[in-house]
Amino acid sequence: MSLVTVQLGQCGNQIGREVFNAICSDVHGTHGLCSKKENESYHDACKERFFIEAESGVPVARAVLVDMEPKVISQTLSIAAKSGYWKYDDHSHFCQKQGSGNNWANGYTVHGPRHKEAIMNLVQKEAEKCDRLGGFFTIMSMAGGTGSGLGAFVTQCLRDAFPSSFILNHVIWPYGTGESSDALLVHENDVIHKICAQLMHMKQISFKDVNQVIAHQLGSVFQPTYTAEDGIHYSRNPLGDLMETLVPHPEFKMLGLRNIPQMPENSLAYSTFSWPGLIKHLRQMLIANAKMEEGIDWQVQPPRPGSSVPSSHSTNKLLHFNTSIANLVILRGKDTHSADLGSFRDPSLYTSWLNPQDAFSAWKTPRAFNKYEKSASLVSNSQFLLKPLDNVVRKAWNMFASKAYVHQYTKYGIEEEDFLDSFTALEQVISSYTIL
């Protein structure tokens, strides 16, 4: 099945471009560890998922680009074309002469409805190019400008126009800070910035550096894998498999992503990794809610079965143990068949209302990803995002109470009651994840 990527706003377009770059870099890389047949199968699955074969021989990304400023679109098209490995369709984009004033409400209530038909026509045409549509992958920022407001409107339109299709909404939370998608995959800008500084050893970190790390992590999830133990056929329904694995209840659809190892490319030749070591680190990152493999708190442990619970708070909560609903581990590289993932099947990691056997899944492929001989990714529906979400709501409440910027929204039709409804919905999400 094929995925249609919808890139929304400047952030969505820049990250989307880096995602396709990462995918192509991986596909065209040298992977001597795999047989010719294995590589060909991997290439075919990747192309069906992300690209359309063109007469020119250069694959065309299955994507729709949306922004209110033509400069963003033209730069995105130009940089992609210069790669020589892939390109965008020159006619599969929408832009206007001016932006929406960096105002969420203007993008949502004015530009969205005004340009709905033009944008959705582009999406419909792209969907019709798919032999089998696997769903939509939207990429946008939550910083409060065009990408957020217009993106929220377009996501609602996608749900209305394609009620049976999966929609995964990838969002970027800004530094320090009831939607229509089936799941929300979240990256935090400040976390990625720390990865660039502490793991990638970058000195002057640009948005391009941050976007490339995000793209690498997304590629590590969405490139083809075997979802069954027999490893005969690559999965052809990536979004459907992801939703089935990680979203067992519609009230819980916040997904976090971790990927290891991550290091400068020039260090790879001098580094070796073992599956026991990678899996041990990834599991501790999960239960201690660590953002990266450096600085993990190894003191945090799952609660022991039958352990007593102090009256104030359970021991595991005092140690900031991260309770999971469902987890997916993706292994790529040499000897994945020998990797023991039994530690992720520990019932104490999960909420009591879901069978642990249903709460954990593993996808594998012997093909390495982007020059890493062995790599492991974790997509988790857990309390990963509880603290940052709580911080966002607290700051938003304070700003709303002081009437900060509220007039910028009310003049475009967003009423104070809409704010209160949003706060109520978010606080319900926080409450649901807190009591896991």
Above 50 in pLDDT, residue 37? yes
Q: Which of 126, 154, 182 is the last residue of a domain?
A: 182
Interatomic CA distance for residues 244 and 221, integer angstroms: 15
Examine the domain organization and report whether 402 and 355 are in the same domain: no
The whole-number average pLDDT for the span 247-253 is: 90
Which pTM does this prediction carry? 0.90
Nearest in space to 427 (alpha carbons), one of 382, 393, 388: 393
pLDDT for 178 equals 46
Over the Cα atoms of the chain, what is R_g?
21
pLDDT for 261 equals 93
Q: What average pLDDT is seen over the chain?
A: 87
Give the SS3 label for residue 291: coil
* Cβ neighbours of 208 (radius 10 Å): 10
pLDDT for 414 equals 87
Is the Cβ–Cβ distance between 146 and 13 less than 8 Å?
Answer: no
Q: Which of 67-71, 283-287, 289-293 has the highest mean pLDDT?
A: 283-287
The whole-number average pLDDT for the span 290-306 is: 85
Residue 5 makes CB contacts below 8 A (sequence gap 6+) with 16, 19, 20, 50, 61, 62, 63, 64, 136, 137, 138, 139
Nearest in space to 149 (alpha carbons), one of 66, 28, 266, 32: 66
Cross-strand bridge partners of residue 138 = 6, 169
pLDDT for 6 equals 96
pLDDT for 281 equals 95
Is the Cβ–Cβ distance between 186 and 254 less than 8 Å?
Answer: yes
Cross-strand bridge partners of residue 372 = 369
Query: Beta strands 254-260 and 374-382: pairing type?
Result: antiparallel
| Percent of the chain with pLDDT strictly greater than 90 | 52
Above 80 in pLDDT, residue 318? no
- Counting Cα atoms < 13 Å in the Cβ hemisphere of 8 gives 36
pLDDT band, residue 319 (cuts 50/70/90): low
The tens digit of pLDDT for each residue in 89-107 reads 999 999 887 655 677 888 8
Examine the domain organization and report whether 274 and 342 are in the same domain: yes
The tens digit of pLDDT for each residue in 367-389 reads 999 889 899 999 999 998 888 88
When comparing pLDDT for 237 and 327, which is higher?
A: 327
The tens digit of pLDDT for each residue in 62-82 reads 999 998 888 889 999 999 999
pLDDT for 403 equals 85
Give the domain CATH number at 38: 3.40.50.1440
Examine the domain organization and report whether 391 and 362 are in the same domain: no
Above 80 in pLDDT, residue 333? yes
**The tokens of 405 are what?**
């910027």
Give the SS3 label for residue 228: coil
Give the domain CATH number at 294: 3.30.1330.20
Is the Cβ–Cβ distance between 361 and 245 less than 8 Å?
Answer: yes
Above 70 in pLDDT, residue 268? yes
Above 50 in pLDDT, residue 200? yes
* Cβ neighbours of 293 (radius 10 Å): 21
Residue 232 maps to a domain: no
The tens digit of pLDDT for each residue in 386-415 reads 888 888 889 888 888 888 788 888 888 888
Interatomic CA distance for residues 257 and 381, integer angstroms: 9
Residue 9 maps to a domain: yes
pLDDT for 46 equals 93
When comparing pLDDT for 250 and 119, which is higher?
A: 119
Above 60 in pLDDT, residue 255? yes
Examine the domain organization and report whether 332 and 352 are in the same domain: yes
- Counting Cα atoms < 13 Å in the Cβ hemisphere of 126 gives 33
Residue 349 maps to a domain: yes
| Percent of the chain with pLDDT strictly greater than 70 | 92
Nearest in space to 224 (alpha carbons), one of 215, 216, 233: 233
Above 90 in pLDDT, residue 172? no
Is the Cβ–Cβ distance between 346 and 313 less than 8 Å?
Answer: no
Residue 88 maps to a domain: yes
Cross-strand bridge partners of residue 63 = 5
pLDDT for 307 equals 53
The whole-number average pLDDT for the span 24-36 is: 75
pLDDT band, residue 208 (cuts 50/70/90): very high
For 117-129, b/e burial (b = at least 16 CB within 10 A) is eebbebbeebbee
Element (H, E) at 120: helix 112-128
The DSSP secondary structure of 382-406, one letter per residue, reads EGGGHHHHHHHHHHHHHHHHTTTTH
Examine the domain organization and report whether 27 and 141 are in the same domain: yes
Interatomic CA distance for residues 97 and 68, integer angstroms: 7
Structural domain span for residue 271: 260-304+320-378
Number of structural domains found in the chain: 3
Examine the domain organization and report whether 6 and 139 are in the same domain: yes
* Cβ neighbours of 420 (radius 10 Å): 11
Above 50 in pLDDT, residue 310? no
pLDDT band, residue 282 (cuts 50/70/90): very high
Above 70 in pLDDT, residue 43? yes
Residue 265 maps to a domain: yes
Above 80 in pLDDT, residue 20? yes
Examine the domain organization and report whether 401 and 284 are in the same domain: no
Examine the domain organization and report whether 47 and 135 are in the same domain: yes
AA letter at 105: A
Residue 125 maps to a domain: yes
Residue 315 maps to a domain: no
Q: What is the separation, in whole angstroms, between the first and last Cα of the chain?
A: 34
pLDDT for 305 equals 66
Examine the domain organization and report whether 338 and 405 are in the same domain: no
Examine the domain organization and report whether 371 and 392 are in the same domain: no
Above 70 in pLDDT, residue 269? yes
pLDDT band, residue 23 (cuts 50/70/90): very high
Residue 58 maps to a domain: yes
Examine the domain organization and report whether 7 and 122 are in the same domain: yes
Examine the domain organization and report whether 275 and 351 are in the same domain: yes
pLDDT for 280 equals 95
